[in-house]
C-alpha cells in the first residue's frame, strides 16, 4: 500500500487484525525483512510494516533523513490508518526511528523493542566512518554496500545462511545512492535517547547479538541497570532475524503478549 507524503510516497503493508504492532526495518533493508515473522505475529495483532524514507518502495525526500524525519513519515502512516496506540519493534536504524517516535509522540507507544539497536548517539569515530562512507557512495557504491553488509553478519553466518545472506544483499543493493547517503547523514545526527527509552510507556525491551560488532551488549547492560528495560542476548550477530530466527520469534511473541 502507498500513501502520499511530502510530494513523495511511503510504502507500507498490513497483515492481521487486533492491536497495532509496527515493525521498522534497518539500514539497507525493507519491509521484507519481517516476512518470516508476520504469519505468527498477525494471528493476534494488526502488523504494520513500513518502508522507511529512501528504502524499499518509499521515496527519498532529501539528502539528509534524520531519525525525526523518518519518525514523522511513520507517524503520518499511522495517522492515515487511525492508529492511536501501537507496540513498536525497530531493527538497527529502525530502533533509532522508534526512539525518535517515542520522544515526540509518547502517547502513541505502549511498548518498544530495540532489536540489534541502541539508544546511544554515534561517537566521533563512528561519525567519521559515516562521513567517509557518504563520500565513497558517490564513486564506488556497489562495493561499499557489499562491504558494509558483510560486516553485519557474524563471519560463520555468511556461510551457514548463505542463501538468506545473498537474498538480503540483493535487497540492500537496490537501495538508491541518495537513500544510502540520506540515512547515513541522519543517523550521525541522532542524540542519545536512553532516558526516552527508560520512560517509554509499556514494556521496554532490547535484544542484542553476542557477536554483533556494532552493538556492545556489556555496555548496554551497564547503561540500563536499575531501569525497567529488559535485555535479552542472542548467540549470533547483528542480523538476528536471519541468524537467530527461532529465538527471536519467541521473544517477539512474548513481547506482544505482555
Please provide the size of the chain in residues.
Answer: 258
List, for residues 127-146, the tens digit of each pLDDT value.
Answer: 999 999 999 999 999 999 99
Range of the domain at 219: 2-257
Closest CA to 114 of 98, 132, 128, 130: 98
The answer to whether 109 touches 22, Cβ cutoff 8 Å, is no
Q: Strands across the sheet with 109-115, in order?
A: 2-5, 8-15, 46-50, 20-24, 86-91, 109-115, 203-209, 230-234
CATH number for the domain harbouring residue 212: 3.40.50.1820
What pLDDT score does 95 carry? Answer: 98
What average pLDDT score do residues 183-195 get? 98
The answer to whether 52 touches 23, Cβ cutoff 8 Å, is no
Q: Model confidence at 258, in pLDDT bands (50, 70, 90)?
A: confident
Total domains in the chain come to 1
Distance CA 100, CA 108 (A): 12
Amino acid at each position: 500500500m502507498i500513501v502520499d507524503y511530502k510530494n513523495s510516497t511511503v510504502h507500507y503493508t498490513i497483515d492481521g487484525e487486533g492491536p497495532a504492532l509496527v515493525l521498522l526495518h534497518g539500514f539497507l533493508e525493507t519491509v521484507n525483512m519481517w516476512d518470516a515473522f508476520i504469519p505468527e505475529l498477525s494471528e493476534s495483532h494488526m502488523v504494520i510494516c513500513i518502508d522507511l524514507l529512501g528504502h524499499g518502495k518509499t521515496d527519498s525526500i532529501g539528502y539528509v533523513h534524520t531519525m525525526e524525519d523518518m519518525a514523522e513519515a511513520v507517524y503520518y502512516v499511522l495517522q492515515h490508518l487511525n492508529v492511536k496506540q501501537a507496540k513498536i519493534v525497530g531493527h538497527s536504524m529502525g530502533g533509532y526511528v522508534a526512539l525518535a517516535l517515542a520522544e515526540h509522540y509518547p502517547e502513541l507507544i505502549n511498548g518498544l523493542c530495540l532489536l540489534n539497536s541502541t539508544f546511544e548517539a554515534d561517537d566521533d569515530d563512528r561519525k567519521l566512518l559515516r562521513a567517509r562512507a557518504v563520500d565513497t557512495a558517490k564513486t564506488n557504491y556497489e562495493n561499499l554496500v557489499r562491504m558494509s553488509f558483510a560486516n553485519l553478519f557474524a563471519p560463520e553466518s555468511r556461510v551457514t545462511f548463505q542463501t538468506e545472506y545473498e537474498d538480503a544483499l540483493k535487497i540492500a543493493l537496490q537501495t538508491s545512492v541518495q537513500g544510502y547517503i540520506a540515512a547515513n547523514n541522519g543517523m550521525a545526527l541522532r542524540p542519545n535517547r536512553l532516558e526516552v527509552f527508560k520512560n517509554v510507556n509499556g514494556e521496554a525491551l532490547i535484544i542484542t547479538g553476542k557477536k554483533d560488532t556494532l552493538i556492545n551488549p556489556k555496555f548496554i547492560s551497564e547503561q540500563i541497570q536499575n531501569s525497567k528495560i529488559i535485555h535479552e542476548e542472542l548467540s549470533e550477530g547483528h542480523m538476528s532475524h536471519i541468524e537467530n530466527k527461532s529465538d527471536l520469534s519467541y521473544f517477539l511473541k512474548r513481547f506482544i503478549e505482555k
